[in-house]
């Protein structure tokens, strides 16, 4: 009886803790959105819906999300088909270029494009000399273009995975019945892969709604509001009803995001029938030599133009004495990089970002792996509920979660305005990624191994230390590394929650860019790009070294890159 009471008390504490940390911020946000001077009221919604800027922000949000999703779906599906089915060469290089926008933070890609297409830059100078109109990236089409490029990997990873799982027997049967290759592609392959394309398009749409950095970098200065930046502007305005109006806007944005997430979940359910099918990497469409070379080099050139060329332009601009100067030797200097490596504020921001990323990883690994164990081994309803609640905080747009954190954690002394609130925000946002990654790892370990350990007298600590952790470590660290990079380069949460002493790298770059110090922002961004690429390259080399000479089933990851298709797709939800 005493044991049962103890268990029930423990469950009660667990549910209260989950409610307080994950759900109470959302409840506080909802409460604030319907609070006015007279108490409960819908006045905040009436006020914002009557503003023309709100209508403009909603319209821009939908236009940018739909337009960028179209770019991401078209490009992602096309490159997925090339890699999965055709006989083009250099697939690993092409895939790496496709995934580059996933590696590099979106605000750095945005800075890269703004550097490439600056008004007095090389590209616009050439266009002007030819009598062609110059390209202004600080426009609605510019935001759509950059957003679409950043979301290409989301669609690509889902579609390439599904294409490789479509049985060849279906295509052979269609060809036997007299279908041409084009008819087989259109009536068989496209029908089978359509759920993955639809799921990828929904993911790209949600990622566009959630994205704060691209509209902030390109839209705030040019007067192009979207819901995420409009919430930010309201919240930092500190007017008499700034926070309550921002809360109402956040609820509207959350409803759009959660509705999209529910639809995306149904689309993923449609794809579940092929989850256990082994991937087929064989070539299905042989392109003639000339067409193959044109397709291969044309695709590489386009992808390099999307990512490599803008990043190179940004790095070169970081060496200029002043932003916008001609790229000549006499205009080059090291002063911007000297600022990055010697400025106390930048060093403090880097230390904050690394510390936050490390602590977030540790918290997510411990809690996420424990939740995965109870979910898989004990079939715990509490663990499944915990995963669902953690998924909610991940589904909410970052700017909404940040505002909810402000409303909730101000009631706890010593949290708001310190680095603690950033740790809580990061952990609650990214925890579901670790739960899903650790669940995959736990499913790969046979329960018989644990039972054998118990038969030979091993305790729980020994089973975890000798069996579970060694066998799960690779997958756990893969998810943790994704969380580490996301936390280290995060901008949206820190833009609302960071104080003077807790600024992060992303926020520092944002402040430099908004303050007009583009060259220093570019220099700091160049350093971050080098660190991120070095980290991903190191992980990829370690994995390749481990897999060399080991006969095993092909894992679900992008060839030669070390990216997990399942984890990366879920990370974009």
- The string of pLDDT tens digits covering residues 486-521 is 899 899 999 889 887 889 999 999 998 888 888 889
Q: Report yes or no: 199 and 76 within 8 Å, Cβ to Cβ.
A: no
* DSSP annotation string for 311-357: HHHHHHHHTBSSTT--S-GGGB-SHHHHHHHH-HHHHHHHHHHHHHH
Cβ neighbours of residue 136 closer than 8 Å, sequence gap 6 or more: 117, 119, 142
Cβ neighbours of residue 105 closer than 8 Å, sequence gap 6 or more: 213, 489, 491, 506, 528, 532
Alpha-carbon distance values, 114 to 136, 138, 142, 377, 551 (Å): 9, 8, 9, 50, 47
The span from the CA of 137 to the CA of 120, in Å, is 13
Q: Report yes or no: 496 and 399 within 8 Å, Cβ to Cβ.
A: yes
Most confidently modeled range among 70-74, 246-250, 263-267, 460-464 = 70-74
Burial state string for 475-491 with b = 16 or more CB within 10 A and e = fewer than 16: bbbbbbbbbbbbbbbbb
Alpha-carbon distance values, 67 to 130, 187, 532 (Å): 29, 26, 29
Phi-psi region of 129 (alpha: psi -120 to 50; beta: other; left: phi over 0): alpha
* DSSP annotation string for 123-151: HHHHHHHTTPPPP-SSSHHHHHHHHHHHH
The span from the CA of 554 to the CA of 544, in Å, is 13
CA atoms within 13 A on the CB side of 223: 1
Write phi, then psi, for 240 (nearest 5 degrees): -65, -30
**pLDDT of res. 571:** 35
**pLDDT of res. 2:** 60
Q: Which helix (H) or strand (E) is 215 found in, with range?
A: helix 213-219
Q: What is the mean pLDDT of the chain?
A: 83
pLDDT digits (tens, 9 = 90+) for 408-418: 998 888 898 89
Q: Report yes or no: 569 and 547 within 8 Å, Cβ to Cβ.
A: no
pTM: 0.84
Q: Could you tell me what percent of the chain has a pLDDT over 70?
A: 90
pLDDT digits (tens, 9 = 90+) for 78-129: 999 999 888 898 888 998 899 888 888 899 999 999 888 888 777 888 888 8
Question: Can you give the length of the chain in residues?
Answer: 573
Taking the CB of residue 339, how many other CB atoms lie within 10 A of it?
Answer: 17
User: How is residue 52 written in tokens?
Assistant: 């023309």
């Amino acid at each position: 009886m005493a044991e049962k009471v103890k268990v029930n008390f423990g469950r009660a504490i667990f549910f209260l803790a989950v409610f307080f940390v994950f759900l109470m911020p959302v409840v506080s946000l909802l409460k604030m959105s319907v609070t006015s001077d007279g108490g409960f009221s819908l006045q905040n919604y009436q006020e914002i819906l009557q503003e023309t800027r709100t209508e403009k922000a909603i319209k821009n949000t939908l236009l940018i999300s739909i337009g960028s999703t179209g770019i991401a779906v078209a490009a992602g599906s096309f490159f997925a088909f090339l890699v999965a089915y055709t006989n083009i060469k250099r697939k690993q290089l092409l895939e790496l270029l496709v995934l580059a926008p996933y590696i590099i933070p979106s605000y750095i890609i945005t800075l890269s494009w703004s550097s490439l297409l600056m008004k007095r830059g090389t590209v616009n100078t050439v266009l002007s000399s030819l009598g062609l109109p110059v390209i202004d990236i600080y426009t609605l089409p510019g935001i759509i273009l950059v957003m679409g490029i950043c979301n290409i990997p989301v669609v690509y990873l889902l579609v390439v995975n599904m294409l490789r799982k479509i049985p060849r027997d279906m295509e052979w049967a269609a060809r036997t019945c007299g279908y041409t290759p084009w008819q087989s592609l259109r009536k068989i392959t496209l029908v089978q892969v359509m759920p993955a394309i639809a799921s990828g398009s929904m993911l790209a749409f949600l990622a566009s709604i959630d994205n704060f950095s691209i509209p902030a970098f390109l839209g705030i200065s040019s007067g192009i509001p979207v819901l995420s930046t409009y919430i930010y502007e309201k919240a930092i305005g500190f007017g008499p009803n700034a926070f309550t109006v921002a809360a109402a806007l956040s609820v509207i944005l959350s409803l759009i995001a959660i509705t999209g997430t529910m639809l995306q979940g149904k689309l993923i359910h449609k794809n579940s029938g092929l989850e256990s099918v082994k991937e087929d990497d064989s070539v299905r469409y042989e392109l003639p030599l000339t067409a193959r070379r044109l397709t291969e080099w044309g695709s590489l050139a386009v992808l390099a133009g999307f990512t490599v060329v803008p990043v190179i332009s940004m790095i070169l601009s970081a060496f200029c004495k002043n932003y916008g100067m001609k790229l000549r030797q006499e205009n080059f200097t090291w002063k911007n990089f000297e600022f990055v490596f010697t400025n106390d504020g930048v060093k403090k921001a880097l230390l904050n970002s690394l510390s936050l990323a490390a602590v977030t990883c540790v918290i997510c690994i411990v809690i996420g792996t424990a939740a995965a164990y109870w979910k898989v081994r004990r079939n715990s309803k509490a663990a499944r509920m915990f995963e669902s609640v953690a998924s909610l905080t991940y589904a909410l747009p970052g700017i909404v979660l940040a505002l909810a954190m402000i409303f909730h954690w101000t009631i706890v002394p010593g949290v708001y305005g310190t680095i603690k609130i950033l740790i809580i925000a990061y952990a609650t946002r990214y925890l579901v990624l670790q739960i899903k990654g650790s669940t995959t790892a736990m499913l790969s370990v046979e329960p018989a191994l644990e039972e054998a350990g118990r038969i030979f007298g091993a305790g729980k600590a020994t089973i975890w230390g000798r069996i579970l952790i060694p066998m799960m470590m690779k997958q756990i660290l893969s998810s943790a590394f994704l969380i580490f990079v996301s936390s280290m380069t995060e901008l949206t949460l820190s833009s609302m929650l960071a104080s003077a002493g807790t600024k992060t790298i992303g926020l520092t770059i944002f402040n430099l860019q908004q303050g007009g110090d583009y060259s220093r922002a570019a220099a700091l961004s160049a350093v971050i790009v080098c660190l991120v690429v070095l980290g991903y390259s190191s992980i990829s080399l370690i994995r390749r070294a481990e897999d060399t000479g080991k006969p095993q089933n092909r894992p679900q990851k992008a060839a030669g890159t070390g990216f997990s298709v399942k984890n990366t797709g879920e990370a974009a939800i």
